[in-house]
Amino acid sequence: MQPIVENIPLLAQGIAYTVALTLLGYGLALVVGTALAVCRVSPVPPLRWAATVYVEIFRNIPLLSLLILIAFGLPDVGLRLPYFWCGVLGLTLSSAAFVCENVRSGINTVPVGHAEAARSIGLGFFGTLRHVVLPQAFRSMIQPLVNVFIGTVIGSALCSAIAVSEVTWVTQTLNIQYAQAVLMFLVAGAVYLGMSLGGAALGGMIERAVSPGGRGSGPSRSTGALDVTAGAQA
Protein backbone atom coordinates (compact mmCIF):
# COMPACT_ATOMS: atom_id res chain seq x y z
CA MET A 1 0.00 0.00 0.00
CA GLN A 2 2.92 2.31 0.65
CA PRO A 3 3.48 3.29 -3.00
CA ILE A 4 -0.14 4.37 -3.16
CA VAL A 5 -0.07 6.41 0.02
CA GLU A 6 3.12 8.15 -1.00
CA ASN A 7 1.81 9.04 -4.43
CA ILE A 8 -1.77 9.97 -3.76
CA PRO A 9 -1.43 13.39 -5.46
CA LEU A 10 0.08 11.81 -8.59
CA LEU A 11 -2.56 9.08 -8.71
CA ALA A 12 -5.36 11.56 -8.12
CA GLN A 13 -4.00 13.66 -10.96
CA GLY A 14 -3.87 10.59 -13.22
CA ILE A 15 -7.46 9.67 -12.37
CA ALA A 16 -8.55 13.28 -12.90
CA TYR A 17 -6.90 13.29 -16.34
CA THR A 18 -8.59 10.04 -17.32
CA VAL A 19 -11.98 11.31 -16.17
CA ALA A 20 -11.45 14.66 -17.91
CA LEU A 21 -10.30 13.02 -21.17
CA THR A 22 -13.30 10.71 -21.17
CA LEU A 23 -15.94 13.27 -20.23
CA LEU A 24 -14.64 15.99 -22.56
CA GLY A 25 -14.06 13.56 -25.43
CA TYR A 26 -17.45 11.89 -25.01
CA GLY A 27 -19.37 15.12 -24.40
CA LEU A 28 -17.93 16.77 -27.50
CA ALA A 29 -18.42 13.55 -29.48
CA LEU A 30 -22.14 13.57 -28.60
CA VAL A 31 -22.49 17.10 -29.98
CA VAL A 32 -20.36 16.55 -33.09
CA GLY A 33 -21.81 13.08 -33.73
CA THR A 34 -25.42 14.28 -33.51
CA ALA A 35 -24.64 17.16 -35.87
CA LEU A 36 -23.03 14.69 -38.27
CA ALA A 37 -26.07 12.41 -38.09
CA VAL A 38 -28.35 15.35 -38.91
CA CYS A 39 -26.08 16.11 -41.88
CA ARG A 40 -26.24 12.48 -43.01
CA VAL A 41 -30.06 12.49 -43.13
CA SER A 42 -30.37 16.05 -44.48
CA PRO A 43 -31.59 16.90 -48.01
CA VAL A 44 -28.35 18.79 -48.76
CA PRO A 45 -26.07 16.47 -50.79
CA PRO A 46 -22.66 18.04 -49.95
CA LEU A 47 -23.41 17.79 -46.21
CA ARG A 48 -24.50 14.16 -46.64
CA TRP A 49 -21.34 13.29 -48.56
CA ALA A 50 -19.05 15.12 -46.16
CA ALA A 51 -20.59 13.42 -43.12
CA THR A 52 -20.37 10.02 -44.82
CA VAL A 53 -16.71 10.50 -45.69
CA TYR A 54 -16.04 11.69 -42.13
CA VAL A 55 -17.65 8.58 -40.64
CA GLU A 56 -15.83 6.19 -42.97
CA ILE A 57 -12.48 7.77 -42.14
CA PHE A 58 -12.84 8.10 -38.39
CA ARG A 59 -14.54 4.82 -37.58
CA ASN A 60 -11.94 2.90 -39.55
CA ILE A 61 -8.73 4.59 -38.44
CA PRO A 62 -7.17 2.95 -35.37
CA LEU A 63 -7.41 5.36 -32.43
CA LEU A 64 -3.70 5.06 -31.73
CA SER A 65 -2.82 6.04 -35.31
CA LEU A 66 -5.15 9.02 -35.02
CA LEU A 67 -3.67 10.14 -31.70
CA ILE A 68 -0.12 9.83 -33.06
CA LEU A 69 -1.06 11.86 -36.14
CA ILE A 70 -2.64 14.58 -34.01
CA ALA A 71 -0.01 14.71 -31.29
CA PHE A 72 3.14 14.38 -33.41
CA GLY A 73 1.88 15.35 -36.87
CA LEU A 74 0.03 18.60 -36.15
CA PRO A 75 3.12 20.44 -34.82
CA ASP A 76 4.80 19.73 -38.18
CA VAL A 77 2.05 21.66 -39.96
CA GLY A 78 2.30 24.51 -37.50
CA LEU A 79 -0.45 23.58 -35.05
CA ARG A 80 0.77 23.19 -31.52
CA LEU A 81 -1.68 21.77 -28.98
CA PRO A 82 -0.95 20.58 -25.45
CA TYR A 83 -0.89 16.76 -25.39
CA PHE A 84 -3.97 16.65 -23.19
CA TRP A 85 -6.02 18.50 -25.82
CA CYS A 86 -4.55 16.28 -28.55
CA GLY A 87 -6.03 13.38 -26.58
CA VAL A 88 -9.40 15.09 -26.25
CA LEU A 89 -9.39 15.93 -29.97
CA GLY A 90 -8.54 12.37 -30.98
CA LEU A 91 -11.17 10.83 -28.70
CA THR A 92 -13.78 13.32 -29.93
CA LEU A 93 -13.05 12.78 -33.62
CA SER A 94 -13.13 9.00 -33.25
CA SER A 95 -16.14 8.67 -30.92
CA ALA A 96 -18.17 11.20 -32.93
CA ALA A 97 -18.16 8.80 -35.90
CA PHE A 98 -19.65 6.04 -33.74
CA VAL A 99 -22.15 8.45 -32.12
CA CYS A 100 -23.23 9.54 -35.60
CA GLU A 101 -23.86 5.99 -36.79
CA ASN A 102 -25.75 5.06 -33.64
CA VAL A 103 -27.92 8.18 -33.79
CA ARG A 104 -28.62 7.46 -37.44
CA SER A 105 -29.64 3.86 -36.80
CA GLY A 106 -31.66 5.11 -33.82
CA ILE A 107 -33.54 7.41 -36.18
CA ASN A 108 -34.19 4.38 -38.36
CA THR A 109 -35.95 2.57 -35.51
CA VAL A 110 -38.68 5.24 -35.42
CA PRO A 111 -41.64 3.98 -37.46
CA VAL A 112 -41.97 5.65 -40.86
CA GLY A 113 -45.56 6.65 -40.02
CA HIS A 114 -44.39 8.95 -37.23
CA ALA A 115 -42.20 10.96 -39.56
CA GLU A 116 -44.98 11.02 -42.13
CA ALA A 117 -47.47 12.18 -39.50
CA ALA A 118 -45.08 14.92 -38.35
CA ARG A 119 -44.70 16.13 -41.91
CA SER A 120 -48.41 16.02 -42.55
CA ILE A 121 -49.06 18.44 -39.68
CA GLY A 122 -46.66 20.83 -41.36
CA LEU A 123 -43.38 20.27 -39.54
CA GLY A 124 -40.29 20.76 -41.66
CA PHE A 125 -37.03 18.79 -41.63
CA PHE A 126 -35.76 20.19 -38.34
CA GLY A 127 -39.20 20.26 -36.72
CA THR A 128 -39.76 16.60 -37.58
CA LEU A 129 -36.36 15.65 -36.19
CA ARG A 130 -36.50 17.85 -33.11
CA HIS A 131 -40.07 17.23 -31.93
CA VAL A 132 -40.99 13.77 -33.22
CA VAL A 133 -38.14 11.57 -34.43
CA LEU A 134 -35.15 12.32 -32.16
CA PRO A 135 -37.07 12.14 -28.83
CA GLN A 136 -38.29 8.67 -29.78
CA ALA A 137 -35.01 7.62 -31.33
CA PHE A 138 -33.21 8.66 -28.14
CA ARG A 139 -34.72 5.71 -26.27
CA SER A 140 -33.22 3.09 -28.56
CA MET A 141 -29.94 4.98 -28.76
CA ILE A 142 -29.13 4.84 -25.04
CA GLN A 143 -27.55 1.39 -24.97
CA PRO A 144 -25.43 1.93 -28.11
CA LEU A 145 -24.35 5.32 -26.75
CA VAL A 146 -23.36 3.68 -23.46
CA ASN A 147 -21.18 1.36 -25.54
CA VAL A 148 -19.58 4.38 -27.21
CA PHE A 149 -18.95 5.82 -23.73
CA ILE A 150 -17.21 2.60 -22.65
CA GLY A 151 -15.23 2.73 -25.88
CA THR A 152 -14.17 6.27 -25.00
CA VAL A 153 -13.16 5.23 -21.47
CA ILE A 154 -11.04 2.42 -22.86
CA GLY A 155 -9.70 4.61 -25.65
CA SER A 156 -8.55 7.25 -23.17
CA ALA A 157 -5.86 4.79 -22.03
CA LEU A 158 -4.17 5.14 -25.42
CA CYS A 159 -3.48 8.79 -24.58
CA SER A 160 -0.70 7.51 -22.34
CA ALA A 161 1.12 6.60 -25.59
CA ILE A 162 1.17 10.31 -26.49
CA ALA A 163 2.51 11.30 -23.07
CA VAL A 164 -0.70 12.38 -21.36
CA SER A 165 -0.16 11.55 -17.69
CA GLU A 166 -3.49 9.82 -17.21
CA VAL A 167 -4.03 6.84 -14.94
CA THR A 168 -2.42 4.18 -17.17
CA TRP A 169 0.68 6.33 -17.57
CA VAL A 170 0.86 7.14 -13.83
CA THR A 171 0.42 3.55 -12.67
CA GLN A 172 2.98 2.24 -15.15
CA THR A 173 5.48 4.91 -14.13
CA LEU A 174 5.01 3.99 -10.47
CA ASN A 175 5.17 0.35 -11.48
CA ILE A 176 8.67 0.83 -12.87
CA GLN A 177 9.67 2.83 -9.81
CA TYR A 178 8.35 0.48 -7.11
CA ALA A 179 8.00 -2.88 -8.91
CA GLN A 180 4.57 -3.25 -7.31
CA ALA A 181 2.87 -4.50 -10.45
CA VAL A 182 -0.17 -6.20 -8.97
CA LEU A 183 -1.09 -3.22 -6.83
CA MET A 184 -0.76 -0.76 -9.68
CA PHE A 185 -2.83 -2.90 -12.05
CA LEU A 186 -5.54 -3.15 -9.42
CA VAL A 187 -5.65 0.63 -9.13
CA ALA A 188 -5.78 1.23 -12.88
CA GLY A 189 -8.20 -1.64 -13.49
CA ALA A 190 -10.51 -0.39 -10.74
CA VAL A 191 -10.60 3.08 -12.29
CA TYR A 192 -11.52 1.77 -15.75
CA LEU A 193 -13.99 -0.84 -14.53
CA GLY A 194 -15.56 1.73 -12.20
CA MET A 195 -16.02 4.22 -15.02
CA SER A 196 -17.37 1.61 -17.47
CA LEU A 197 -19.78 0.13 -14.95
CA GLY A 198 -20.78 3.58 -13.71
CA GLY A 199 -21.54 4.69 -17.26
CA ALA A 200 -23.53 1.52 -17.91
CA ALA A 201 -25.51 1.98 -14.68
CA LEU A 202 -26.25 5.62 -15.50
CA GLY A 203 -27.35 4.60 -19.00
CA GLY A 204 -29.67 1.98 -17.51
CA MET A 205 -31.17 4.58 -15.19
CA ILE A 206 -31.77 7.03 -18.04
CA GLU A 207 -33.26 4.25 -20.12
CA ARG A 208 -35.69 3.25 -17.38
CA ALA A 209 -36.61 6.89 -16.82
CA VAL A 210 -37.50 7.53 -20.46
CA SER A 211 -39.08 4.18 -21.31
CA PRO A 212 -42.86 4.33 -21.63
CA GLY A 213 -44.55 3.37 -18.37
CA GLY A 214 -41.36 4.17 -16.50
CA ARG A 215 -40.36 0.52 -16.14
CA GLY A 216 -39.25 -2.40 -18.33
CA SER A 217 -35.61 -3.19 -17.90
CA GLY A 218 -33.80 -2.17 -21.03
CA PRO A 219 -31.79 -4.66 -23.02
CA SER A 220 -28.47 -5.47 -21.38
CA ARG A 221 -25.46 -4.35 -23.31
CA SER A 222 -24.67 -7.88 -24.41
CA THR A 223 -27.79 -8.19 -26.55
CA GLY A 224 -26.45 -5.44 -28.78
CA ALA A 225 -23.42 -7.54 -29.62
CA LEU A 226 -24.93 -8.61 -32.92
CA ASP A 227 -25.67 -5.06 -34.04
CA VAL A 228 -23.07 -4.13 -36.63
CA THR A 229 -24.51 -0.88 -37.94
CA ALA A 230 -22.02 1.40 -36.21
CA GLY A 231 -18.85 -0.56 -37.01
CA ALA A 232 -16.13 -1.64 -34.60
CA GLN A 233 -14.85 0.72 -31.96
CA ALA A 234 -11.52 -0.23 -30.45
**How many whole angstroms separate alpha carbon 47 and alpha carbon 217?**
37
Interface pick for another protein out of 16, 69, 121, 201 (rule CB under 8 A): 69
Least distance (Å) between residue 192 CB and another protein: 5
Any contact of residue 108 with another protein (CB under 8 A)? Answer: yes
Question: Measured in whole angstroms, how far is the alpha carbon of residue 153 from the centre of its chain?
Answer: 8
Which residues within the stretch 9-68 sit at the binding site for another protein (CB under 8 A)? 41-47, 50, 56-57, 59-66, 68
Per CB under 8 A, does 204 bind another protein? no
For another protein, the closer CB: 6 or 227? 227
Considering only residues 8, 76, 209, 214, which one is a binding residue for another protein as defined by CB under 8 A? 76
- Of 95, 87, 21, the closest CA to residue 58 belongs to 95
Q: How far apart are CA 47 and CA 40, in angstroms?
A: 7
Nearest approach, Cβ of residue 195 and another protein (Å): 9
Q: Which own/partner contact pairs does 60-63 have at CB distance under 8 Å and 24+ positions apart?
A: 60/231, 61/94, 62/234, 63/90, 63/91, 63/94, 63/155, 63/158, 63/234
Indicate left, alpha or beta for 36 from its phi (over 0: left) and psi (-120 to 50: alpha): alpha
User: Which residue type, as a one-letter code, is found at position 42?
Assistant: S
Applying CB under 8 A, the site for another protein has a residue count of: 78
> Does position 114 bind another protein by CB under 8 A?
yes
Count of CB atoms situated within 10 Å of the CB of 179: 10
Instruction: Please report how close the Cβ of residue 182 comes to another protein at its closest, in angstroms.
Output: 8
161 binds another protein (CB under 8 A): yes
Nearer to another protein, 16 or 79 (CB): 79
Integer Cα distance of 14 and 171 in angstroms: 8
- If binding is defined by CB under 8 A, does position 202 make contact with another protein? no
Closer CB to another protein, residue 1 or residue 209?
1
Candidates 9-17, 80-88, 155-163, 206-214; binding stretch for another protein (CB under 8 A): 155-163
Q: Where does residue 212 rank: exposed (0-12), middle (13-18), buried (19+ CB within 10 A)? A: exposed
Q: Is 125 helix (H, G, I), strand (E, B) or coil?
A: helix
Q: Does 92 bind another protein (CB under 8 A)?
A: no
Residue 152 in contact with another protein, rule: CB under 8 A: no
Question: Counting contacts by CB under 8 A, is residue 192 touching another protein?
Answer: yes
Between residues 30 and 187, which has the closer beta carbon with respect to another protein? 187
181 binds another protein (CB under 8 A): yes
Residue 163 as a binder of another protein (CB under 8 A): the answer is no
